[in-house]
Structure 1
Amino acid sequence: MGTTADIAQFVQKTTFDEFDPELVHHVKNVFLSGVGMTLAGVDSETSKAILSYVKECAAPQEVGVIGANFRTSVEYAALANGTTSHTTELEDDTRAENMYSVGVFPAMFALGEKLNVSGRELIEAFVIAWDVASKLAIASQDMMARGLAPWSAGSTIGVAAGAAKLLKLNDEQIGMAVSIAASHAAGLFKQVGSGAHLYESGMAGRNGLASALLAKHGLTGQPAVLECPMGYLHAVAGIANPDLRLGAPFRAQDIEIKKYPCCLSQMHPIDAFVRLIEERGLSAHQVKAVRLEAPPSFQLAAALYHHPKNGDEAKFSLAHSIASSFLDKKPWLDRYTTEGANGLDVAAFRDKIEIVYRAELAGQALPITVTLNDGSQVNSMTRKITEHIDVSDDEILDKYRKCVSGIFSASRGDQISESLLSLEQIPDISELMKNLTFIN
């Protein structure tokens, strides 16, 4: 047996009945969060470009584009929804392997609608896709040192596996789907902070679906291209034939739900500032200077920009998030737009912020020092930056409601959330997808 054959067997044998109630509950929360962020992202600049492109392609009207009031082919819907959901940077992640929800769930929703699958089948396919994507990404983390993106590359192959499950492909076809997906898998770390970074998640979903559909139609690939010398894993990470240990414990259980619309590594620092501001009753006009000590790795993404020029850069500007915390008490989507990034108040406050990099802080709690105008100082610490983000069911529901506020009436928003949170009881997701597509 090799890696590709192991994936094929895993896809074939894994069923919803193997999932414990906690896993199913968590996946439904991930879907609720995901639907909210997709709807909230429809009007972003990047989404408008993608949606315009998809409309121009005039593909067959097979499935809905969430929040966009039109239908397109299943592959273009995956492309559109995968990109639109990512534009908010609210996507939910697993930290160790740098995997993101927006590379997987939009494609599963699109194909699920086309095939009229049940909620149970949708959850089943997502868990399978996530496990393949995540465990491949864990095995190949060295690819990041080469400038490659495990999140989009892993998602492509994972989506191919999940789609193969929904399409009920046989072992050989699943192997071909995975092999074809390996040729599609792509993404570059250095696209962070640009529209292309957001597009890569949509690309992963589209390419993963295409791989499974092509395998169904008889296209072939090398049957061991993942694990063989000079194959995919050897090319991207210098490894061959890893033991992925697919199955329980399923990695979908470890997906972390983001609270704020920015880079995952910013979550604990923002939480620390939000808590400090609330507990001490601090206001922006009281503050003379802010100092945060952080590991050098933050400069790669979390603090890539100090003075961002647009919304895409703002999501990777820790200084911007800290400033927004002082100005707004809790940063939200309106601060991560081009207008929000260039506001005079937030730009002036960013000038007060200093981020000092210390190598010994890798994986540690980060020191915070706030100097007030009277010369006094307030000190605090973040949680360890590698600790799991803890978010309650109520907080996830609140995140969803904030995302859809102004898009749906409260009653319609609640109807959709109730459907998503009882998804395993729905025999056909088509009506749910119709409600998510046509918002006017």
Structure 2
Amino acid sequence: MTVTEQVAKFVVDAGIDDIPQKTVQYAKELALSNLGSMIWGSTLPAGKIVTKFVRDMGGTPEAGVIGGGFKTSLPNAALANGNFAHSSEWEGDSRPEMVGVMTVFPVVFPVAEKAGASGKDVLAAAIIAHEVQSHIGLACLPATGRGFFAVPVFGNFGATVATAKLLKLSAVQILRAFGLVASQAAGTLRHHSTMTHFVETGFACRNGVTAALLAGQGITADTNILEDGDLGPGFGSAVAGEADYHIEKVTEGLGREFRFDLLDTKNFPCHSLQQRPLEAALHLVKENSIAYDAVASVEVEMSPGAVHELDLLEPPDSEHTRVSLQHGIAGVLLEKRADRRIFTEEKRVDPRYKEARGKVKLTPRPDWTTPWPEGFDVVTIKLKNGQEHSVKWEAWRGYHKTPMTTDELMAKFKDATSDVLSPAQADRSIELVLNLEKAKDLYELAEIINFP
């Protein structure tokens, strides 16, 4: 049996009873967290643009667009929801493969709505989908160094598996779906400072749905796309390079150890790499009662890779305030918080925020070689009176080793959805999601989140 065939068999055979209860519980909590991110993401500029695009395209009304108040085709709903999930920058991923459930939950909700799937089916599909995209990503780690953005490249496979599992495709159909989605897998790190960085996630969700639907209708494809063959390199060799593709990692531990448990989530609605230094800065400001007017400068010492990702002194739009560490620190200094209310267009253009961003220096430390999320950052706040306050910070709330509590995730959901859902709708959504395994279908939840 080839590796591609082993993966397809795993997708068909694995079910909720094969998954540890702690993983199922974590899946419900991450479903709630990511659903809140999508609802808020639908209100942001990139979300509004994609919602209008999808509405204008029309399509068979098969599934609702989250926060949109209308139904569209399944691929279009997945496109919109995937964009919402990432544009909020409030999702999370697992490292070092750098994929997350932002290519899973935006898919399982609309597919379950169309298929009438149960809550247990949804949870199983989400977990199994992440296992597959995660393992493929682990086998292809050098792809990022070649310029590929892991979320849309490997997330395509997660979206495919999520759809295939809920639509109950056969192993042969799943093999064909893998071949189909491999021809759509794309994404580049060049878009980091543009809205395309977010839309790429929507593309992955749409592509996975499309591949599964076409395979289900009988479209044929190469059925061993993960292997190299007589016709040329397989998917992994193509994106990672033949010498650096480790195909054995695709099935190593698959179904026995669940990488879903290693997913991080975010306390703050911004880039993953900001979670630790923002928490450290908040600690310093609150612990020492530091007023903004007393601050001369802030230095954040980080790995060179983290500095490269987060050094954005002048974010070009409100979305990209969430990938600017200077902006996040400015919010901490000015307002003693790093919640979604600081990552807005109003704050981006505020002269006080511009001044505060200018006080923040990101210092790369080449000798810090421990891969994130391990390691630490150092934040130092220098005051105008000559005093300094410094802290070395390692873990953060949302890191899988120090996870957010259920109560914290419920509060996060209520905050994220407060501009869209009524308090009663938010409470009912929480109840439904945290009891997903008891749901016969998702119709009530779909009505709330799609037609608020």
Query: Aligning the two structures, in what range does the TM-score lie when normalised by the shorter sequence?
Result: over 0.9
Q: Which residue of 1 aligns with 2:214?
A: 214
Measured after TM superposition, the shift of residue 342 of structure 1 is 1.7
Alignment partner of 1:26: what SS? helix
Q: Which residue of 2 aligns with 1:367?
A: 378
Determine the C-alpha separation between the residues in 2 that align with 1:176 and 1:299.
Answer: 41
- Superposed CA deviations along residues 370-412 of structure 1, whole A, max 9, x for unmatched, are 1112111111112169984531111111111110113222122
Tell me if 1:291 matches 2:265.
Answer: no
Determine the C-alpha separation between the residues in 1 that align with 2:11 and 2:271.
Answer: 31
Measured after TM superposition, the shift of residue 95 of structure 1 is 2.3
% identical aligned pairs? 30
Q: Which residue of 1 aligns with 2:13?
A: 13
Measured after TM superposition, the shift of residue 217 of structure 1 is 0.8
1:242 to 227, 241, 248: 248
Q: Contact 2:93/2:99 (CA < 8 Å) preserved in 1? A: yes
Q: Contact 2:298/2:381 (CA < 8 Å) preserved in 1? A: yes
Determine the C-alpha separation between the residues in 2 that align with 1:389 and 1:200.
Answer: 29
Q: 1:46 to 1:37 in 2, by over 3 A?
A: same
Q: Contact 2:307/2:362 (CA < 8 Å) preserved in 1? A: no
Unaligned runs of 5+ in 2: none
Moved more, 190-199 or 415-424: 190-199
Measured after TM superposition, the shift of residue 79 of structure 1 is 0.4
Tell me if 1:197 matches 2:197.
Answer: yes
Determine the C-alpha separation between the residues in 1 that align with 2:395 and 2:342.
Answer: 26
Determine the C-alpha separation between the residues in 1 that align with 2:409 and 2:395.
Answer: 22
Tell me if 1:131 matches 2:125.
Answer: no
Measured after TM superposition, the shift of residue 277 of structure 1 is 1.3
Tell me if 1:438 matches 2:444.
Answer: no
For normalisation by structure 1, the TM-score amounts to 0.96
Moved more, 293-302 or 31-40: 293-302
Superposition map of 1:142-181 within 5 A: 142-181=142-181
Determine the C-alpha separation between the residues in 2 that align with 1:413 and 1:360.
Answer: 46
1:416 to 429, 444, 450: 429
1:267 to 228, 251, 275: 275
Return the letter of the residue paired with 1:150: A
Determine the C-alpha separation between the residues in 2 that align with 1:306 and 1:91.
Answer: 23
Q: Contact 2:310/2:325 (CA < 8 Å) preserved in 1? A: yes
Determine the C-alpha separation between the residues in 1 that align with 2:61 and 2:162.
Answer: 22
Q: Which residue of 2 aligns with 1:232?
A: 235
Q: Which residue of 2 aligns with 1:91?
A: 91
Return the letter of the residue paired with 2:286: E
Superposition map of 1:29-44 within 5 A: 29-44=29-44
Tell me if 1:337 matches 2:340.
Answer: no
Q: What's the C-alpha RMSD, in Å, of the aligned pairs?
A: 1.5
Determine the C-alpha separation between the residues in 2 that align with 1:313 and 1:435.
Answer: 29
Alignment partner of 1:292: what SS? strand
Alignment partner of 2:219: what SS? coil
Measured after TM superposition, the shift of residue 161 of structure 1 is 1.7
1:317 to 324, 335, 343: 324
Determine the C-alpha separation between the residues in 2 that align with 1:157 and 1:148.
Answer: 15
Determine the C-alpha separation between the residues in 2 that align with 1:49 and 1:407.
Answer: 17
Alignment partner of 1:30: what SS? helix
Aligned residue-pair number: 438
Alignment partner of 1:361: what SS? coil
Return the letter of the residue paired with 1:382: W
Q: Which residue of 1 aligns with 2:390?
A: 379
Q: Contact 1:16/1:120 (CA < 8 Å) preserved in 2? A: yes
Measured after TM superposition, the shift of residue 337 of structure 1 is 2.6
Determine the C-alpha separation between the residues in 1 that align with 2:357 and 2:368.
Answer: 22
Alignment partner of 1:359: what SS? coil
Q: Contact 1:366/1:384 (CA < 8 Å) preserved in 2? A: no
- Superposed CA deviations along residues 81-134 of structure 1, whole A, max 9, x for unmatched, are 110121111012112211122111111111111000000000011111100001
Determine the C-alpha separation between the residues in 1 that align with 2:300 and 2:165.
Answer: 47
Unaligned runs of 5+ in 1: none
Q: Which residue of 1 aligns with 2:404?
A: 391
Return the letter of the residue paired with 2:178: V
Determine the C-alpha separation between the residues in 1 that align with 2:265 and 2:127.
Answer: 16
Alignment partner of 1:291: what SS? strand
